[in-house]
Structure 1
Amino acid sequence: MKTSDCDILIVPGYQDSGVDHWQSRWERQLSTARRVKQENWDSPNKDEWVRKIIEDVAAAKLPVVLVGHSLGVLAIAHAAPLLPRDKVQGAFLVGLPDVDRPDFMPEIGRAFAPIPRDPLPFPSVLIASRTDLHCDYEKAEDIAYAWGSAIVDAGDAGHIDTESGHGPWPEGLMRFAGFLKRL
């Protein structure tokens, strides 16, 4: 599959992805990419976020590939069983937050926990860092196996966001292209 063959739905996390974040750059760079826009980025509500993903998938004209970061990954996982099985072709997931951890932001953790463990009904890849402050690599690996996702070890990459130096993130774009090619 090529980017022109699908609607790419960018699903940011808590507080949205800023202008220099790799998700925002991809949205500008890929002609069929658009952002799932949440009404409240600062006080995430799981049910509202899931509803918005479902609506945007339903509105898509082409087969859908989801691109989630951080809390967007969990919103996708919570939405997955409610999405049309023939419409979503895959999910590219980056920087899972461990909302099950007791030290995770309680206002968000309570809303999005527990992390779903049922297999995702579409092909997926989860990219995880060994130095992500929001999730231990071992937890990300365990969740990837539960979801049936391929796991990619990003090494020492922090939360794979602007703060960790992943504005352009060309390696991620190459990996995304490879993921699309397999769909």
Structure 2
Amino acid sequence: MTEQQPTTLVLPGYLDSGPGHWQTRWQALDPAFVRVRMPDWDHPSRDAWCRTLAATLDSLDAPVVFAAHSLGCLTTAFWASQYASAAQLAKVAGALLVAVPDPAEAHFPRDATGFAPVPLERLPFATIVVASSDDPYGGVPFSRTCANAWGSRWIEIGARGHINADSGLGDWDEGRSWLASLRAPR
């Protein structure tokens, strides 16, 4: 019996991920990567984004993994802790959570509403939090606090900014290998 390969839901953050972003590049490389189209990239609303994620999960079969960046990470945490049904949670094999932003940071987008306080409870699926030592949107202490609370494996990759297109990661093979560890059948 062959196990079904997971669908990877790409969860970008504020303003979506452009053509040079690792999320967009991964999506171009693999048809199993599906971007969740949020209702308003310029004015993110936690409620709207979480409901969109829930509806997307309702439309898919298991298994699913998340490749989340920035506000996509917070959306994942809020969805799992406050919006998800048991049936939706049962579909999720894991989540790669990259560059978790801190709503208390000065650079946090003021157009984003409802993303504070961040839920700090264990997530009900395997997670990996990846942080940069010089991310202007979320420092290492905040990222590590989230990883500890969520029950995540925590990885710090050095000074890579917000771990986005400006970070020069290209196809970011290392990140894909971390994601693959979540996609592997258990």
Aligned residue in 1 for 2:130: 127
Q: Are the aligned partners of 1:95 and 1:160 in contact in 2 as well (CA < 8 Å)?
A: yes
* 1:102 to partner: Cα distance: 5.4
Give me the identity figure in percent. 36
Task: Show CA shifts across 1:117-138 (max 9, x none).
Answer: 0111111110011111111111
Counterparts of 1:159 and 1:107, CA distance in 2: 18
CA contact (8 A) 2:6 2:183 kept: no
Deviation, structure 1 residue 179: 3.1
Paired residue secondary structure (1:107) = coil
2:170 paired with 1:167:
yes
d(CA) in 2 for partners of 1:142, 1:102: 18
Query: Are the counterparts in 2 of residues 54 and 79 from structure 1 also a CA contact under 8 Å?
Result: yes
What is the TM-score of this pair, normalised by structure 2?
A: 0.90
Letter in 2 for 1:144: A
Alignment partner, residue 70 of structure 1: 70
Name the aligned partner's letter for residue 111 of structure 1.
G
In the alignment, structure 1 residue 40 sits paired with structure 2 residue 55: no
**Contact 1:100–1:114 (Cα < 8 Å) also in 2:** no
CA-CA distance at 1:170 after TM superposition: 1.8
171-180 or 24-33, larger mean C-alpha shift: 171-180
- Could you list the runs of 5+ residues in structure 1 that have no partner in the other structure? none
Q: How many Å apart are 1:61 and its aligned residue?
A: 2.1
Change (3 A) 1:89 1:179: closer
Q: 1:3 to 1:77 in 2, by over 3 A?
A: farther
**TM norm structure 1:** 0.91
Aligned amino acid, residue 147 of structure 2: A
Instruction: Answer whether contact 1:4 1:31 (CA < 8 A) is retained.
Output: no
- What is the CA–CA distance in structure 1 between the aligned matches of 2:143 and 2:62, rounded to whole Å? 30
Q: Give 5+ residue unaligned stretches, structure 2.
A: none
Describe how 1:27-176 pairs up with structure 2 within 5 A: 27-81=27-81, 82-83=83-84, 84-101=88-105, 104-108=108-112, 110-176=113-179
Deviation of the 1:31 alpha carbon: 2.2
Q: Distance in 1 between matches of 2:28 and 2:139?
A: 31
User: Counterpart of 1:162 in structure 2: which amino acid?
Assistant: A
Shift of 1:24: 0.7
- RMSD across aligned positions (CA): 1.9
